[in-house]
Structure 1
Amino acid sequence: MDPAFQYTLFVILAPLTAIACVGVVTYARLSYPSRETSALAWLTLSIVGWLVANTLELATNTEAATLLWAKITYLFIATVAVAWLAFALQYSAHSRWLTPGRFWPFFVIPAITIVLTWTNDSHHLLWTAYRFIPVNNLLAINITTYGPWFWVHILYSYALILLGAGLIIQQNSRSFRLYRQQSGWMIVAALLPIVVNASYVMRWFPGMNKDYTPVSFALAAVIFAVAMTRYHLFDLKPVARDAVIDSLSDAMLAIDPRGRIVDLNPAAQALIGIPSNLIIGQPAADVLNPWRDLLERYRDRTELRDEITLHHDGTDHTYDLQVSPLLSRQQQPAGRLVVLRDMTARKQAEAELREYTAKLEARNEELDAFAHTVAHDLKDPLAALIDYSLELKLHLRNMPAEEIDAALDKIARGGEKMSAIVDALLLLSQVRQIEEADLTPLDMSTIVAGALERLSTLKANCHAEVELPERWPTALGHGPWVEEVWVNYLSNAFKYGGSAPRIELNAREQPSGAHNQRSMVRFWVRDYGPGLTPEQRAELFAPLSQVRTSPEGHSLGLSIVQRIVTRLGGEVGVASQPGRGSLFWFTLPAWARRSSG
């Protein structure tokens, strides 16, 4: 190639590229804050300085002037690679390296290169030999042999340029596919100066005498500036994805108009369970096939918010699904952004909170009802105790012995009733405090015998006759609690089963079926007394709400009985008709005997 043509072409291209470079960078500086374009401005200044100095080098007609401008050119040649690296660091969100304390070591080699350039005639470490080429009555310098330091300089510059290009390419690999048009141009701009400079230094093209590296750098700067303004480089740059998207715990997928997944974050990759390199570019219908029903439901929706359930990792997870449109720079549909926020823990916490609140409200209601019931039941015996005590105090000396004995008996009975109420209160407190009682096989004969022993005085006073079965089916329960159930049922039967009541105790095992998921044992106490009306039955087993306490006072004890049996996994009930007696029953889980074989 004719040397004159090479230099003439450079002289034509240099001012054009310099003007274009300054123009677009100035526009970028006006469009964006100075801190975001400062490195690009520095890079542009170095490139323009290189172009201007190199052009003036070609515009002289003496060897001394040409050599002087060649040395001035090295002021920019030595620093342009550092400026390039600064731009790459700023672009790739590594600006923390641009502080003076961290960045100054990168200037050591360029500073030495500049010093050696101006003292080269003394040591020839940069250029060993060069010659001047006449070009249209002007002179151009051509380095024919490089010194050892030149290779240090060139390798260092290449290292910085490659490092910067690597940072840009790395950011491109992390950016959204929908926005990679800008990053593709960035890669071209990153590699262009290296290719052009290497072709000149390594003499890849015989007869190539002019270095077009500054022109290639200028074109790279123009590409960067255009990307900033046209593709919104600093609006959509990958740092936004690195700093925000990748750190999100929400799963996020970008889907193009053809239904292909163009990007996803680590949370989405973990949710899908497939490596991201096998997901990118694949149809969403194929990748998300386990959830194809949901895909079909939302196939034509570009914007929505819904709550969905996905099954993965062996369990169901609740997600807040949000789909929003992605628009191109022309505000045309460019795909959809799908965000899935795992709400499982929150839903579980809300459910637990509701359950806890319901339990707390139930306990508060229970305490209120119990306080009302206890106050109501204590009122009559306490009033009687006070009345008879005052009567004895005032009239003891004049009262016949029979009246004194009767008053003392009534005081004793009132005290016994109050004691029973206090015992019921203590039992309820025990049942409330123990969340889960240990269920063990029950020796019901011993438990019933204990209950009858506690009621022996009452049984003797009412002349009750008790019939027991020959054997009891074995059930599971908590012995002390079950004894209280029997005490309550038996005491009611002794009191309200008529004159000299005949009481029958028995049990029967109920096999599992449609209503019972496991076998149960049904126990009962039958009396042949006056029985109960439907209205009276309706008030039994009420949850501690004996608002209309009957004189018989069934409700307090039976309410506690119901709580005990329910906690043990059983049920309670009563069958009764006026004039035909009553049958009070409760169930407990049957003990499943393990076969010895």
Structure 2
Amino acid sequence: MGWWLDIDLLRRGAPGRVTMNPVTAVVLIVAGAALLLSAEPDRPPPARRLAQGLAALVVLVGGARLGAYLSAWNVPLDGLLFPARVAAVGSRLAQLAALNFVLTGLALALLRLEGRRVHAVLQTLLLGSGLTTLAALLGHLYGADMLHGPMALNTSLAFLALTTGALFARPDEGLVALLRGDTPAGALVRRLLPAVVLIPVVLGWLRLLGQKAGLYETEGGSALFVVTTIVALAGLTWWSARSIERADARRREVEGALRGSEGRFRTLAASANDAIVSADAAGLITYFNPAAERIFEYGASELEGRPITMLMPDRYHDAHLAGLARYLATGEAHVIGRTVELTGRKKDGSEFPVELSLASWREGARQVFTGILRDITDRKQAEDTLRRYAAQLEAANSELDAFAYSVSHDLRAPLRSIDGFSRAVLDDCGDQLDETGRAHFGRIRDAARRMAGLIDDLLNLSRLTRAPMKRESVSLSAIAAAVASEFCRSGPGRAAEWVIAPGLLADGDPRLLRVALENLLENALKYSRSQPQPRIEFGRSLANGSQAYYVRDNGAGFDMAYRDKLFKPFQRLHPAGEFEGSGVGLATVARVIRRHGGRIWAEGEVGRGATFYFTLAPDQTPQP
């Protein structure tokens, strides 16, 4: 653009400097295009071929100009573009620029070729170009024509950018790989290289300024330059040595901690009851603890360095290898970080169930896998036994249901006959019986009705035990209020004072929880009706170290010595003549509460009332 628009500053880069030849500018653009096309390793073949063609053009131009300098044969390259303007300012393609074109062009042509020797040649070419460019830049800095010759300042800067870009196009090789590495050598190079370059440059520039100012002669300036360079580099060396010493001390400390950690791991692994097995990225076993020897019946020496697939049935080998390859390629894990049940294989070929917990981490550049395996043969056998028992229990329950239905049907018929014929005798022959005879027949009818009630209670208790549960959020306060309202409408609860705490929620089966509350509230009402002012309370409080619901009354109470009988069927603490009932209600409540994962207990005192507490499963009793 500087030549096209005739702008001198763009041609020179700075006032008073050598001008860049227009051919040099064009070839630099060609080299930059070749670098862009070669920078990405996955370029399509046409783009790579074009990049190599452009690199060859750069080498051709540089070689032609070098040949002209070294022989009498002159190729008129300098005046190919803008000949009149070039002739006016005397711009030429410099020797160093021509040499750099040859070095850089060859490097660009080799940039995407593979091979150890190719990489070595590539690094040599680029470093040679870089050193040549550095010499030209120092020549401009110090005003030394012998170093930069006719190479322009902006040409030198362009070559510096081009060489640096080509070096970083292969970041995993050579000097750039060393600079980017996280090794101690990489850290040392990053620390020293800028100082090694800048310190002599700055000291040389200061020496030159002092000599021009007449502070010392050439010999003295040289001696001063050498001394200051030695002092600066010696200080830099001492500082680097101290840094390496501190880093080495930290490394030794870390290695000691690592050895201690590894020792503790091996001690724990050696005493563990579960198998602990480690493998590398190739799936080869690297560690096999004593428990693994016992479980798999292999010795550690037999398996170290052998495939981990030896510990699994043949039918799982392909799936294991595919999963390992997928994880190493993409990091997608299906088993790592989870506990899964698999099948293991012992040395004799027998298979057994195992529970595996697998972890993975990196040790430097190595991928390591460690699994903890537990033989769950006994657990599986216990689960099978439990399933058999559950099936047997289900069958027994079905038989019990059928038996209960049969018994209730067979017992109800004679009971109806007893009650019916007793009533017929009283109706038809009652005037022939005396008072004692009619009383006997009345007691027969009462006993038959009580027997029918007991049968109904037994059937209800049996159904509650096996009825399916449907959990949902339930308002116990609403259920208690509804039950109390029904008691008040039917008569017995009208005189009682009902105190029901609002907002009590639970997670459970609403039908079963209603049955439990009906029995508890009816029980409280029945045993407190003899009081002048019955009081029945439902709420929630802290009892026995946990939050519990309660139903409290001020009725007859009970003797705590007999509290273990409260929740057993047909166990009564009061005579039937004093308080009616079959003794099944509290047993029904207890079964409902146990099915919800809770517990129930009671506290009372004779003549002072009773309190029945119950809880539900802790994670199933949400409160607002």
The normalised TM-score by structure 1 is 0.36
The normalised TM-score by structure 2 is 0.35
**Which structure's relative contact order is higher, taking Cα pairs within 8 Å and 6+ residues apart?**
1
